[in-house]
């Protein structure tokens, strides 16, 4: 919608809402190819292109409202603030690179984001442009079919130019970015479903002034041919410069600013997140187009994305739910690139992995922290040592898996132990041990230790872990009722200071 249509937005805006509910979906087999031929008839007609006569749709595409910005909010055509919530999918060009991952067609994946309880109202489509394909062929194969699908489904789609690179003289030339948008920007200018993310993650130079000088001409060129399309603007250092953007915004209308957030940036506390992007979001529109986590292991990378739902995901959800002017798309609705939401066979990852919680979040359903409710919460805990008065043994059974909720052994205690006495003998299914540091990677987790359980027959070993690199491990419970659980740690960590860092010992009743 024209900027002038939002000129009278009041300083006190209405409550932020989700985009309107989607109408019932039409049959995919007949509808998608019909839309592919004609849903953009207005666009191609405006460009003087021919529309195949065989492409008559079976019904009008589901309509969405044109999005823009007003103040620090994304708004619809009625100037009502909107919070976009959705997911990113895998860049289509990389869909067959992981043979053990059992890839699905990207069209099927996008269908999944709005079915079976998933309620995404926006899908982010990464577009990788390196290789031998021309921009035109790249868009025809890896962009346009999914734009048409989004139109059919009645959802928004972010066309994300997915460079993770330096820019300018030491990286991606400005001319390369311009070449892509010179073709794409006019192509979907009249399609309200489409949002443009101009450059995924510029890295260096780490200067907002340098970045602004590089990207402003690209924005100006986009605006010349797509004056109303919502633009999403990243920034240096992997799109973490929204504070700089708030102080010196890009010139132009209807621009929201991108922040990318992962556990390596620290706890999901209000103080930390405010400093990173929350304060800026009081001044400019901000959208997190990437965030995600998984516990250390095969579904997380070694450093950046290691976190748990209890310790990082749930606090982040609480933060963003209290700030509906900040939109988001979670990374990644796939079974390949990390941190994914599904295992290689497309089973949804739950518990401390992100998949099940993101699904519940999109549906506005609660998702209880697996760390917060178990048979040992509030039990008596005694440790061989504690690093401070605020990191005592009781922290290992307080139901809190944030950094503030950890038991830390004292420096110099080379073989720390922790003994938990349950309120009553309990038949135990398993004992989950959460260790490490949110944002610290695998070096902070317990390295060598055993989990022991006490029954009427005495102490017995439930499991032993050597050279551990996982932040969450599980030991099976015995057949008999358990009244005590003990950690015996022989190598606290692979980090200095070499102390035990235990979020929680969660005792799961059978």
pLDDT for position 17: 61
Only one residue has tokens 């043994």, namely 393
pLDDT for position 16: 57
58-112: pLDDT as tens digits: 445 568 999 999 999 999 999 999 999 999 999 999 998 998 999 999 999 999 9
Structure tokens at 377: 């919460």
272, with CB counted inside 10 A (0-12, 13-18, 19+), is middle
* 324: helix, strand or coil: coil
394-413: pLDDT as tens digits: 999 999 999 999 999 999 99
d(Cα 400, Cα 397) in Å, to the nearest integer?
Answer: 8
20 — pLDDT class (breaks 50, 70, 90): low
Q: What are phi and psi of 465, to 5 degrees?
A: -130, 125
339-393: pLDDT as tens digits: 999 999 999 999 999 999 999 999 999 999 999 999 999 999 999 999 999 999 9
- Mean pLDDT for the chain? 89
d(Cα 262, Cα 268) in Å, to the nearest integer?
Answer: 9
d(Cα 161, Cα 139) in Å, to the nearest integer?
Answer: 11
CA proximity to 473, closest of 428, 430, 441: 430
3-state secondary structure 187-209: HCCCCCCEEEECCCEECCCCCHH
The DSSP bridge pattern shows strands 194-197 and 231-233 to be parallel
């Amino acid at each position: 919608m024209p900027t002038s249509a939002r000129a009278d937005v009041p300083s006190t805006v209405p409550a932020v809402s989700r985009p309107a509910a989607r109408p019932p979906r039409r049959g995919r087999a007949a509808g998608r190819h019909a839309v592919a031929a004609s849903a953009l008839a207005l666009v191609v007609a405006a460009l003087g292109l021919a529309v195949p006569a065989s492409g008559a749709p079976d019904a009008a595409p589901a309509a969405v409202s044109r999005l823009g910005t007003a103040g620090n909010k994304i708004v619809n055509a009625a100037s009502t603030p909107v919070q976009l919530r959705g997911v990113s999918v895998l860049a289509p060009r990389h869909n067959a690179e992981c043979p053990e991952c059992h890839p699905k067609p990207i069209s099927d994946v996008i269908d999944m984001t709005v079915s079976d309880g998933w309620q995404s109202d926006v899908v982010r489509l990464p577009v990788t442009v390196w290789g031998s394909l021309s921009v035109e062929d790249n868009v025809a194969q890896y962009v346009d079919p999914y734009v048409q699908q989004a139109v059919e489904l009645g959802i928004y789609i972010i066309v994300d130019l997915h460079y993770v690179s330096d820019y300018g003289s030491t990286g991606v030339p400005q001319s390369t970015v311009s070449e892509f948008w010179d073709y794409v920007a006019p192509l979907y200018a009249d399609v309200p479903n489409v949002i443009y993310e101009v450059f995924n993650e510029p890295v260096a130079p780490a200067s907002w002034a340098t970045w602004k000088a590089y990207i402003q001409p690209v924005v100006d060129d986009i605006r010349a041919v797509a004056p109303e399309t919502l633009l999403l603007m990243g920034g240096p250092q992997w799109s973490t410069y929204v504070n700089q953007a708030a102080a010196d915004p890009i010139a132009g209308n209807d621009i929201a600013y991108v922040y990318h957030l992962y556990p390596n940036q620290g706890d999901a506390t209000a103080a930390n997140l405010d400093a990173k992007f929350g304060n800026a979001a009081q001044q400019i529109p901000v959208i997190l187009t990437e965030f995600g986590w998984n516990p250390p292991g095969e579904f997380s990378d070694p450093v950046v994305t290691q976190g748990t739902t209890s310790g990082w995901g749930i606090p982040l959800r609480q933060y963003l739910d209290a700030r509906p002017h900040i939109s988001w798309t979670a990374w990644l609705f796939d079974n390949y690139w990390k941190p994914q939401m599904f295992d290689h066979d497309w089973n949804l990852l739950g518990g401390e992995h992100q998949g099940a919680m993101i699904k519940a979040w999109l549906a506005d359903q609660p998702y209880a922290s697996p760390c917060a409710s178990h048979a040992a919460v509030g039990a008596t805990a005694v440790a061989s040592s504690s690093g401070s008065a605020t990191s005592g043994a009781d922290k290992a059974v307080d139901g809190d898996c944030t950094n503030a909720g950890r038991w830390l052994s004292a420096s110099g205690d080379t073989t720390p132990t922790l003994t938990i006495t349950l309120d009553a003998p309990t038949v135990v299914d398993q004992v989950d041990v959460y260790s490490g540091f949110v944002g610290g990677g695998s070096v902070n987790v317990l390295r060598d230790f055993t989990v022991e359980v006490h029954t009427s027959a005495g102490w017995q070993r439930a499991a032993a872990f050597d050279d551990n690199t996982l932040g969450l491990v599980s030991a099976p419970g015995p057949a008999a009722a358990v009244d005590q659980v003990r950690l015996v740690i022989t190598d606290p960590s692979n980090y200095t200071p070499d102390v035990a860092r235990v979020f929680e010992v969660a005792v799961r009743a059978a």
